[in-house]
Amino acid sequence: MFLSPRSAHQKGKWPELIYFARTKQSLVSQKAAQAIMLPKFDPTDQKACLSLLEDVTTNVKQIQDSVLEAILSRNAHTEYLSGFLNGQADKKSFKKNVPVVTYEDIKPYIDRIANGEPSDLICDRPISVLLTSSGTSGGVPKLIPLTTEELEQRISFASLYRPLLYKYIEGIRERKSFMLYFVTRESETASGILVRTMITCVLKSVTPANSFIWDQSQISPHAITTCSDTTQSMYCQLLCGLLQRDNVGRLGAPFASSFLKIIKFLEDHWPEFCSNIRTGCLSDWITDPQCVSGIGKFLTAPNPELASLIEQECSQTSWEAIVKRLWPKAKCIEAIVTGTMAQYIPLLEFYSGGLPVISTFYGSSECFFGLNLNPLSKPSDVSYTIIPCMAYFEFLEVEKDYESGHDPAEDPVVIDLVDVKIGHDYEPVVTTFAGLYRYRLGDVLRVTGFYNNAPQFHFVGRQKVVLSIDMDKTYDEDLLKAVTNAKLLLEPHDLMLMDFTSRVDSSSYPGHYVLYWELGSKVKDAKLELDPNVLEECCFTIEESLDAVYRKGRKNDKNIGPLEIKVVKPGAFDKLMNFFLSRGSSVSQYKTPRSVTNEEALKILEANVVSEFLSQKTPSWELHELHSSR
């Protein structure tokens, strides 16, 4: 999901992109402001934007009550809500009678709208787009309703982020932004509703008439970003960035994983880039008219001096600090590095050369949530401040009972945004103008503090259990922490963990966890020498880092077998990504799933295994651990 990323991070991700769509209208109209609770503001006025942030984070309770009141006054008559409210469109009735739901509960309504029934099944406004989620958590993208008004709401508040960058990063406005975005092929439902990703929505809201606003501030022309051929688009966007290397003030991509994919693409194609720049001629395989015309504005003549400079940097033994070396005037990298993206922080730091990495904001296909008001915070310390006018926010407290394996969130007690407590973990439950009511996001957020009266959250991960054999329940967050501990053992050997996923192998008893690791070397073109002792110790370190229930199952109950790491060939995770993209995921929103159950995906991984290692030791466990706090 967006926007961190979360799912990728989402979940949350495109303030720079959305800024340009927002500046199409100089101001939000008064009518729209009243309808969607947004005050009128000028996104080009830095002082006004910062003042607005102060206002909305101060009046949180009043704004939240007003948002719910507005949603109910407009949508209480819909088929979905009327079945629960019976004409009582007040907060008390809403909380008492409207159930907390997941996607599977509302999917029948969305399917009916997709097949031609009216939008007023769930919403008083026409559903203009069905947004596709990243799809990699469950393997199949969800379809999330979006109205034109809701899109305007997201565009408006995302445009608040640019002034924060200007405030905290000196000199960043003096050069252009080199953010790489990609559209995906869109489709239509049987009733003619567009099915798109959020990024595609925003990119295509920039029309030829106003694309000059984009081109004034972006390194890559808008025409290139809307090319549907991702490979041609990526090549030409990177070529634009290299040709204008001294004019890049910041660079990035929606997620850390997508930024690293771009770096890998650069590593594979730099000789061809140098050839294009040296001769002044574009490669013959670039045939898309938008790409050809877009790059033609910059690739105008041979530039052997620039080609030699790029060649000198890219041909070095190590690619450490390659981003800083190729783009010496850049002030920061923008990419979501919270949640599951946190695993990529060491790789980003390796390539970045000390540039700060900024996680901009948190959101998803379902809803935009909040901004990182401290852009220069360490990636591991990022917190997002909830913007209370984006939706009506409620929260389920997340407490895992390790002894029984029961998750109390199954018996939900839902609290308001203003009632969350510092240090507690919650799953957000959102109610939107576009037809989601008390909808569980599946994310886990930890309250770190308050900005004025608005809670600040650290994105922990997904609520979903990713691995389980017996009574053990290993969550997204638990697995990531364990792998983070284990990969420290690789560093003395100049090895890097490029990506990973996992599964449960129950083909024999006892079943065991299997992790697929793709490894890389810090030394360019070096042959990977895998020491079995090191990889076996990685297996044990992961087991030792997992919770008490898992370790009890291994040591005491003996109902869990030794953990296994299978090392796969370089490029295996690209093949895995291509598989999920073929099933409807978006390259811009794609996040490697932390566990894989799809048989075809597993066949791809297994076909690329080059070596296998098992834990040779049993992890520690003591009885008292089951009764201690997490």
For residue 409, is pLDDT > 50? no
Of the candidate ranges 17-26, 101-110, 188-197, 434-443, the one whose mean pLDDT is the lowest? 17-26
**Residues 6 or more apart from 123 whose CB is under 8 A from it?**
75, 78, 145, 147, 433, 434, 435
Residues 332/338/340/346 CA torsion (nearest 10 deg) = 40
How many C-beta atoms surround the C-beta of residue 610 within 10 A? 13
> 608 and 483 in one domain?
yes
Where residue 445 falls among pLDDT bands split at 50, 70, 90?
A: very high
Of the candidate ranges 255-269, 460-474, 523-537, 608-622, the one whose mean pLDDT is the lowest? 460-474
Rounded Cα gap, residues 255 and 458, in angstroms? 16
* Cα-based angle 442, 448, 454 (whole degrees, multiple of 5): 85
Please, are residues 163 and 245 in contact by the beta-carbon 8 Å criterion?
no
pLDDT in tens, 596-629: 988 999 999 999 999 999 999 999 988 666 544 3
pLDDT in tens, 358-370: 998 888 889 999 9
> 355 and 495 in one domain?
no
> 480 and 336 in one domain?
no
Mean of the pLDDT values across residues 51-57? 92
Mean of the pLDDT values across residues 535-550? 94
In the chain, the number of structural domains is 2
Local structure of 346: helix, strand or coil: helix
DSSP structure class, residue 38: P
Mean of the pLDDT values across residues 299-326? 96
Asked if the bond preceding 5 is cis, omega within 30° of 0, the reply is no
Place of tokens 């204008």: 244
For residue 135, is pLDDT > 80? no
Q: Which of 428, 411, 263, 269 is nearest to 349 (CA)?
A: 263
Please, are residues 30 and 39 in contact by the beta-carbon 8 Å criterion?
no
Where residue 497 falls among pLDDT bands split at 50, 70, 90?
A: very high
Mean of the pLDDT values across residues 260-268? 93
**Helix ranges, 255-303 (H):** 256-279, 289-295
pLDDT for residue 25: 40
pLDDT for residue 7: 38
> 340 and 193 in one domain?
yes
> 341 and 484 in one domain?
no
Please, are residues 485 and 560 in contact by the beta-carbon 8 Å criterion?
no
Please, are residues 495 and 528 in contact by the beta-carbon 8 Å criterion?
yes
For residue 406, is pLDDT > 70? no
Residue 21 burial (10 A CB sphere; 0-12, 13-18, 19+): buried
**Residues 6 or more apart from 403 whose CB is under 8 A from it?**
549, 626, 627
pLDDT for residue 16: 52
Cα 29 to its chain centre, rounded Å, is 30
Rounded Cα gap, residues 615 and 452, in angstroms? 49
Please, are residues 576 and 601 in contact by the beta-carbon 8 Å criterion?
yes
Q: Look at residue 405 and tell me if it is in a domain.
A: no
pLDDT for residue 217: 85
Q: What is the CA radius of gyration of the chain?
A: 24
Local structure of 130: helix, strand or coil: strand
For residue 35, is pLDDT > 60? no
Rounded Cα gap, residues 616 and 605, in angstroms? 23
DSSP structure class, residue 91: H
Q: Which of 244, 113, 118, 112 is nearest to 177 (CA)?
A: 244
pLDDT in tens, 136-169: 444 467 899 999 988 888 887 778 888 889 899 9
pLDDT in tens, 302-311: 999 999 999 9
Q: Look at residue 411 and tell me if it is in a domain.
A: no
Please, are residues 459 and 338 in contact by the beta-carbon 8 Å criterion?
yes
Out of 313, 332, 363, pick the residue that ends a domain.
363
Residue 257's domain spans which residues?
Answer: 2-363
Strands 465-467 and 474-475: antiparallel
Q: Look at residue 415 and tell me if it is in a domain.
A: no
Rounded Cα gap, residues 210 and 92, in angstroms? 45
Q: Look at residue 438 and tell me if it is in a domain.
A: no
Measured in Å, how far apart are the chain's first and last C-alpha atoms?
27
pLDDT for residue 343: 76
Higher pLDDT, 346 or 246: 246
> 477 and 347 in one domain?
no
Rounded Cα gap, residues 495 and 159, in angstroms? 40
Beta bridge partners of residue 455, listed in sequence order: 450
Model-wide pTM > 0.75: yes
Joined together, the tokens standing for residue 9 give 């991070």
Q: Look at residue 430 and tell me if it is in a domain.
A: no
Sign of CA dihedral 425, 431, 436, 438: positive
Q: Between helices 148-158 and 15-22, what is the axis angle to 10°?
A: 110
Joined together, the tokens standing for residue 47 give 């002082």
Average pLDDT, the chain: 87
pLDDT for residue 400: 57
Rounded Cα gap, residues 144 and 546, in angstroms? 34
CA dist 189 to 112, 116, 159, 589, Å?
Answer: 10, 8, 30, 21
CA dist 272 to 267, 283, 298, 327, 527, Å?
Answer: 10, 8, 16, 18, 24
Q: Look at residue 113 and tell me if it is in a domain.
A: yes
Mean of the pLDDT values across residues 542-568? 92
Joined together, the tokens standing for residue 182 give 């990609």
Where residue 277 falls among pLDDT bands split at 50, 70, 90?
A: very high
Sign of CA dihedral 4, 8, 11, 16: positive
DSSP structure class, residue 101: B
Out of 330, 363, 396, pick the residue that ends a domain.
363
Q: Look at residue 399 and tell me if it is in a domain.
A: no
Please, are residues 615 and 540 in contact by the beta-carbon 8 Å criterion?
yes
Percent of the chain with pLDDT over 90: 60
Q: HSE, CB side, 13 Å, CA atoms: give it for residue 255.
A: 34
Q: Look at residue 100 and tell me if it is in a domain.
A: yes
Place of tokens 């945004």: 417
pLDDT for residue 507: 80
Out of 334, 363, 392, pick the residue that ends a domain.
363
Rounded Cα gap, residues 504 and 514, in angstroms? 6
pLDDT for residue 138: 46
pLDDT for residue 20: 45
For residue 9, is pLDDT > 50? no
Please, are residues 434 and 145 in contact by the beta-carbon 8 Å criterion?
yes
DSSP string of 499-542, one letter each residue: EEEEEEE-SSSS-EEEEEEEEEESSTTPPP---HHHHHHHHHHH
For residue 1, is pLDDT > 90? no
In the sheet where 194-196 sits, what is the strand order?
143-146, 129-132, 194-196, 187-188
Please, are residues 152 and 477 in contact by the beta-carbon 8 Å criterion?
no
> 151 and 283 in one domain?
yes
Name the helix (H) or strand (E) containing 150.
Answer: helix 148-158
In the sheet where 495-505 sits, what is the strand order?
495-505, 512-521, 564-568, 609-614
Q: Which of 497, 510, 362, 498 is nearest to 443 (CA)?
A: 362
Place of tokens 């080609």: 307
